C-alpha cells in the first residue's frame, strides 16, 4: 500500500487492478520461498492471474486507451531471441514473468505492464473471466501439445484448477470422452460439472490398477493423458494408462527426480511431452469466452477483498474450493 504508483514507459500501460486469482505457485513461494531454481531473495509481490482497467498509456501505445478493461499475460520476453522468432516465447530464458523471482507480480492496486501483453476484454467477458484466462491458457497449451482432436479419448490426472481447465479445453477441442482421477470426491464432482464424462476417486490403488480402471470406464486405453499433479505415482499411472502410440503431457510439477516405467513407455512408443506455461493463448481464450463456447465461471468458489489477502491465501493453502479470487479495487461493487 505504501509503494508509489508506477509511471508507464513508452510501450507500457498503467493498470488499476481488479481481479487477481491465487495460484498454487503463489502459495508455494509464500510458504517455501522457492520453486526449483527460482528463489525469493528480496520482498516480492505475488499474483499472475489478473485483469484490470487501463489508467494511463505510454507514448508509444496505440491499441489501448484509459478505461479499457484488459486481461494480462504475465510472461513478457525481454529480447527477440531464437525462441521468440519461432513463436515459442515462453521458452525464452530471459523472459519476465509476474511473481517469479525477482519479478514482481500484480496483486496490488496499481501495476504497469507491457502493452503488447495486455488484451482488451469484450464487454460480455468479466474481469474474473479475464483473470481466469491465465490458468485456462495452461489447458489450451497442454491440449495443443497433446494433440487433442475430434474423437480423442482423454485421461486427466488431477481435478484441481489446472485439471479442470484441461477438461474444459479437451471437450472444446473435440474429445469424445474425458475421464478424471483425484483423491477428492468434491473435486471430482466439480470435474463432472465442467464436462468430465467419467470420474474415478483414487484411494489406495497401485498405478497399474488406476490405469486399468481408466481403461475400464473408457472402454479402451486413452489416446492422451494430461498429468496435472506432479505426483510420482500419478505419472506412473499416466504411462501405464496411455495407449501405445499415444501421448502423455506432463503439466503438474513435483519432485525434480521421479522414478517412472520408462521402458514401458519406450517400447510402446508413448510420447512424453512437457509444457512450460503457455504462448499465443490469450486471443484464443478471449474468443472462446466472448462466444460463450466455454464457461469457466464455476471455477471461482471464493472471493476476498485485497485487505483480506492473508485469509485468501490461507483458504487456498487448505485446499478449499477451487479458485480463490482477490478483488483489488475497493470502489467496485459488482458481485
Confidence at residue 36, expressed as pLDDT on a 0 to 100 scale: 82
Confidence of residue 334 (pLDDT cuts 50, 70, 90): low
Strands annotated E in 209-256: 224-227, 247-250
Mean pLDDT for 133-159 is 98
Mean pLDDT of the residues in the chain = 96
- Break the chain into its structural domains and give their ranges: 12-120+296-327, 139-274
In this structure, are residues 185 and 166 in contact, taking their beta carbons and an 8 Å threshold? no
Confidence at residue 211, expressed as pLDDT on a 0 to 100 scale: 98
Q: Which of 314, 319, 309, 322 is nearest to 17 (CA)?
A: 309
Q: Beta 12-21 vs 110-114: how paired, if at all?
A: antiparallel
% of the chain residues with pLDDT over 90: 93
% of the chain residues with pLDDT over 70: 99
Evaluate the omega torsion of the peptide bond into residue 102 and state whether it is cis, within 30 degrees of 0: yes
pLDDT tens sequence across 206-253: 999 999 999 999 999 999 999 999 999 999 999 999 999 999 999 999
pLDDT tens sequence across 67-97: 999 999 999 999 999 999 999 999 999 999 9
What are φ and ψ of residue 248, in 5° steps? -110, 125
pLDDT score of 322 more than 90: yes
What CATH class is the domain 139-274? Answer: alpha beta
Confidence at residue 230, expressed as pLDDT on a 0 to 100 scale: 96
Position of cell 490403488?
205
Q: Which of 200, 215, 146, 201 is nearest to 175 (CA)?
A: 146
Mean pLDDT for 273-278 is 97
- CB burial of residue 176 (10 Å; 0-12, 13-18, 19+): middle
Confidence at residue 321, expressed as pLDDT on a 0 to 100 scale: 86
Confidence at residue 94, expressed as pLDDT on a 0 to 100 scale: 96
Q: Other C-beta atoms within 10 Å of 192: how many?
A: 14
pLDDT score of 1 more than 60: no
Confidence at residue 21, expressed as pLDDT on a 0 to 100 scale: 98
pLDDT score of 335 more than 70: no
pLDDT tens sequence across 150-203: 999 999 999 999 999 999 999 999 999 999 999 999 999 999 999 999 999 999
Pick among 3.20.20.80, 2.130.10.10, 3.90.180.10, 3.90.1150.10: CATH of 12-120+296-327: 3.90.180.10
**Radius of gyration over alpha carbons of the chain, in Å?**
20
Distance of CA 271 to the CA centre of its chain: 22
pLDDT score of 100 more than 70: yes
Amino acid at each position: 500500500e505504501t509503494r508509489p504508483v508506477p509511471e508507464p514507459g513508452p510501450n507500457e500501460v498503467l493498470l488499476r487492478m481488479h481481479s487477481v486469482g491465487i495460484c498454487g505457485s503463489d502459495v508455494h513461494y509464500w510458504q517455501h520461498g522457492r520453486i526449483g531454481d527460482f528463489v525469493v531473495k528480496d520482498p516480492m509481490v505475488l499474483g499472475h492471474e489478473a485483469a484490470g482497467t487501463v489508467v494511463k498509456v505510454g507514448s508509444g501505445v496505440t491499441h489501448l486507451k484509459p478505461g479499457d478493461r484488459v486481461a494480462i499475460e504475465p510472461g513478457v520476453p525481454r529480447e527477440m531471441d531464437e525462441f521468440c522468432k519461432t513463436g515459442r516465447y515462453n521458452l525464452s530464458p530471459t523472459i519476465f514473468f509476474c511473481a517469479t523471482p525477482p519479478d514482481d507480480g500484480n496483486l496490488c492496486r496499481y501495476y504497469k505492464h507491457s502493452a503488447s501483453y495486455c488484451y482488451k476484454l469484450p464487454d460480455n467477458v468479466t474481469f474474473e473471466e479475464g483473470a481466469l484466462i491465465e490458468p485456462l491458457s495452461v489447458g489450451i497449451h497442454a491440449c495443443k501439445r497433446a494433440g487433442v482432436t475430434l474423437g480423442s479419448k482423454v485421461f486427466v490426472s488431477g481435478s484441481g484448477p489446472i485439471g479442470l481447465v484441461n477438461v474444459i479445453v479437451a471437450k472444446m477441442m473435440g474429445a469424445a470422452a474425458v475421464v478424471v482421477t483425484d483423491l477428492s470426491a468434491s473435486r471430482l464432482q466439480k470435474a463432472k460439472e465442467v464436462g468430465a464424462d467419467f470420474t474415478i476417486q483414487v484411494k489406495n490403488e497401485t498405478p497399474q490398477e488406476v490405469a486399468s480402471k481408466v481403461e475400464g470406464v473408457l472402454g479402451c486405453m486413452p489416446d492422451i493423458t494430461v498429468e496435472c499433479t506432479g505426483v510420482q505415482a500419478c505419472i506412473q499411472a499416466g504411462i501405464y494408462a496411455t495407449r501405445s502410440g499415444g501421448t502423455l503431457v506432463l503439466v503438474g510439477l513435483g519432485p525434480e527426480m521421479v522414478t517412472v516405467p520408462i521402458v514401458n513407455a519406450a517400447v510402446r512408443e508413448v510420447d512424453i511431452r512437457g509444457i512450460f506455461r503457455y504462448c499465443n493463448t490469450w486471443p484464443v481464450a478471449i474468443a472462446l469466452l466472448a462466444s460463450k463456447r466455454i464457461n469457466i465461471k464455476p471455477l471461482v468458489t471464493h472471493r476476498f477483498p485485497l485487505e483480506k489477502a492473508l485469509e485468501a491465501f490461507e483458504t487456498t493453502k487448505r485446499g478449499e474450493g477451487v479458485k480463490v479470487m482477490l478483488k483489488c479495487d475497493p470502489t467496485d461493487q459488482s458481485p
